[in-house]
A = this chain, B = another copy of it.
Amino acid sequence: MKVYDSIKYNDKGFVPVITQDYDTGKVLMMAYTKKEQLEKTLETGLAFYYSRSRDKEWLKGDTSGHYQKVVEVRIDCDMDCVLYIVRQVGAACHTGEFSCFYRKLNKNGEVEDE
């Protein structure tokens, strides 16, 4: 079954993507893709997204060199979220941190040191 057309893109054509690092298991980031960028990801083995702020296709690593080599693409039960499992080159986060989720919250909702 070809799933591109079964995926529940929102009214702007986006579906959320979770990206996980294959080697460490860390969740790296969350972003969005359109159908075309999902196809490119599957075909090329590099993670493509669609930047909502810049309103254009986004090949992760295209400017930073921090490409994501895709090991697996998975789809969730209700077809409204995609999971890229990747080998991250360098760091996923623009801050230089490996994962965008580098801050932990304590019980009071305060950012805690690692």
Contact = CB atoms under 8 A, between A and B. Distances in A.
Interface of A: 1-4, 16, 18, 20, 25, 27, 29-30, 38-39, 42-43, 72-78, 81, 83, 93-95, 97, 100-111
Given A2-B108, A42-B109, A43-B107, 15 more contacts: A1-B110, A2-B109, A2-B110, A3-B110, A3-B111, A4-B109, A16-B16, A18-B18, A18-B27, A27-B27, A38-B109, A73-B104, A75-B101, A77-B95, A81-B100
Tell me the number of copies of this protein: 2
Contact of A109 (B39, B78, B97): B39
B102 A77 contact: yes
A107 B75 contact: no
